[in-house]
Chains A and B, each alone.
Chain A
Amino acid sequence: MVLKKYRLTEAKMKEFKNQIRWLLELIKLNIKSNLEYRTSFWMQVVGMAINNCAFLVVWYLFFQIFHSVNGWKYQDMIGLNGFVSAVFGLCFFVAYGMRRISKYITFGQLDAYLVLPKSPLIQILFAESYVSALGDLLFGIISLVIYCFIAHLSLGTIILLPILFILACCTFTGFNIVGEAIAFWIPNSNELTDALFEFMLGPSLYPNSAFTGAIRIIFTFIIPAIVVGGMPVNILLKMNPWQIILMICLSIFWLLLAKFIFDQGLKRYESGNLTGAH
């Protein structure tokens, strides 16, 4: 009976294809609307990419003073910053709506998404795109390419990179949704969700070899900062299969938790009686 429920029928495949096509259309529409202001678009993209180099300079200075942090060197920081920037860039470029959830809840603006025949969560995620994030994505990709060369990564490792990237994106998205959905329980919590987001992003940019013991557990399982950047870079360096399995499990866990928390929260949602088209 259970198996029957999850069996892939032709109709389900068609539905899945339709969903993907619809999502691609949404993303295309967001990009087009951003391209409406072409100068601003490129200014934001290039500005953000150049700007991210600031991190690399800061870490260069840091490693001039300290040389190594528990085996991590400056080149690993290039990989780490590249990975985190690419994850941040892709997630926010295609699905910036995840950072709007708490605002929609606080102002009772979810109604427009609830009446449409698609999953409200998916609709919200892909409702908006953050232009500057494309700059982060470009910076991330360039940094990762440089890292592949300077760290002399094997072909097998390079093939693994996109898989790790997708897993990190899932964790990042899941955590953000959970953080934003707090607004269902704590009203007017925009500043809290911002702080929570930054608290995940900040440690993800530090050499994770400095996190040991209980702190490492917290930043892996509760605030998944290490999963978004440090763990993938560790996997690329050491090819530890257990870490790959852990990453897969965590990405699935965060996505499921996000869906569960959002659905539970929706039951508490109070409309602001605002109507609008999305």
Chain B
Amino acid sequence: MNNWYKKLKKYQEIIRISNNEMFASPGNFIGRIVIFCLRISLFGIIYPYVFKSSNLTSINGISVIQIVWSLALVQIIYQFSRKTYQDIRDEIMSGQIETKLNKPYSFLNFVFVDAMGKMPIQAIIYAVTIVLLLGTVFGIPHFTFVQIIGLIILFILGVILFTLNMILLAICAFWMENPDPVYWIIGKLSWFVNGTFIPLAILPASFRTIATYFPFSAPFFLGRIFEISTLTGISQLIIIQLIWIVVFAFIIKYLYRLGIKKVSINGG
């Protein structure tokens, strides 16, 4: 029991440090929030304009306000864990990872906890930002109780899955000189089916089916909260996310074990 407590305390310390690090450069943090606001404002400019010029009020039962909100919700996920990919990739590519292997913690757990540690505070900040910005300009769409609970669960699982996605892509660096092309290709493929540019609700049914089962679009399920709003539908999305989390965790663990065998210590 005492041993477990010691282990947890170690990761608790990592969370504390990563949170401190987040606010170490307030200019950087505030700047990112501002850019985030501008980015979601962009959706708020384009879609109402396009709807108005096409004389549309809704598509597939989804109103323009819901579209803007769903695009903004997808953008939230992108605000988490992107540094995780860069950090792991750089550690592996530079060979610096060798210095992490003899430390009294698991490198994988370290990067995961580091990313997750920032989640609660960041989540609150981004949620408040979205509600203030979109709520003031467009109004807040109607959410049922099931949707609100679903949104919270889909968000938490989404961030975890997105972090695992990033870790998986980054550890490709064990086998490739530079995993960036894989990162970009997967990233852009995901844009098709995760609702980054066009909400899935207004795309053909075939796209929505692909989106449901494509692992790299699963982190962004919260953007589908207006399209799938029933308890059964949301539960199905949550189960799919949970399955992918388990699958990704196993794959990462396995590949990481294989990968570290390839690390050559050069010294110096």
> A: which residues have CB within 8 A of B?
37, 40, 43-44, 47-48, 51-52, 54-55, 57-58, 61-62, 65-70, 131-132, 182, 185-192, 194-196, 198-199, 202-203, 206, 210-212, 215
Ranked nearest first, the 7 interchain pairs of A and B with the lowest CB-CB distance are: A186-B27, A192-B31, A195-B35, A44-B181, A188-B25, A189-B28, A192-B28
- B31 and A54 contact, CB distance less than 8 A: no
* A residues near B59, Cβ cutoff 8 Å: 65
Is B180's CB within 8 Å of the partner chain A? yes
Q: How far is the CA of A47 from the CA of B45 in the complex (A)?
A: 32
Q: How far is the CA of A44 from the CA of B45 in the complex (A)?
A: 35
* A residues near B53, Cβ cutoff 8 Å: 66, 68-70
Q: How far is the CA of A202 from the CA of B24 in the complex (A)?
A: 28
* Sample of 6 A–B contacts (CB below 8 Å): A40-B177, A51-B184, A65-B198, A188-B28, A191-B28, A206-B46
> B: which residues have CB within 8 A of A?
24-25, 27-28, 31-32, 35-36, 38-39, 42, 45-46, 49-50, 53-54, 56, 59, 82-83, 176-178, 180-181, 184-185, 188-189, 191-192, 197-198, 202-204, 207
* B residues near A57, Cβ cutoff 8 Å: 192
Q: Looking at the complex, which one of A61, A62, A189 makes contact with B25 (CB distance below 8 Å)?
A: A189
* B residues near A68, Cβ cutoff 8 Å: 53-54
Excluding A44-B181, A186-B27, A187-B28, 6 further A-B contacts by CB distance (< 8 Å) are A51-B188, A54-B188, A182-B31, A192-B31, A196-B35, A210-B49
Q: How far is the CA of A187 from the CA of B63 in the complex (A)?
A: 42
* B residues near A48, Cβ cutoff 8 Å: 181, 184-185
**If A54-B192, A58-B191, A192-B31 touch, does A132 touch B38 (CB 8 Å cutoff)?**
no
- Closest residue of B by beta carbon distance from A205: B197
- A62 and B192 contact, CB distance less than 8 A: no
- Closest residue of A by beta carbon distance from B38: A199
* B residues near A187, Cβ cutoff 8 Å: 25, 27-28
Taking the nearest CB of chain A, how far is it from the CB of B218, in angstroms? Answer: 18
- A210 and B181 contact, CB distance less than 8 A: no
Q: Looking at the complex, which one of B27, B31, B203 makes contact with A61 (CB distance below 8 Å)?
A: B203
Taking the nearest CB of chain B, how far is it from the CB of A69, in angstroms? Answer: 6
* A residues near B189, Cβ cutoff 8 Å: 51, 54
- B35 and A61 contact, CB distance less than 8 A: no
- A40 and B24 contact, CB distance less than 8 A: no
* A residues near B45, Cβ cutoff 8 Å: 210-211, 215
- A62 and B177 contact, CB distance less than 8 A: no
- Closest residue of B by beta carbon distance from A223: B38
Taking the nearest CB of chain A, how far is it from the CB of B12, in angstroms? Answer: 24
**If A58-B198, A186-B31, A189-B28 touch, does A51 touch B54 (CB 8 Å cutoff)?**
no
Q: How far is the CA of A152 from the CA of B28 in the complex (A)?
A: 46
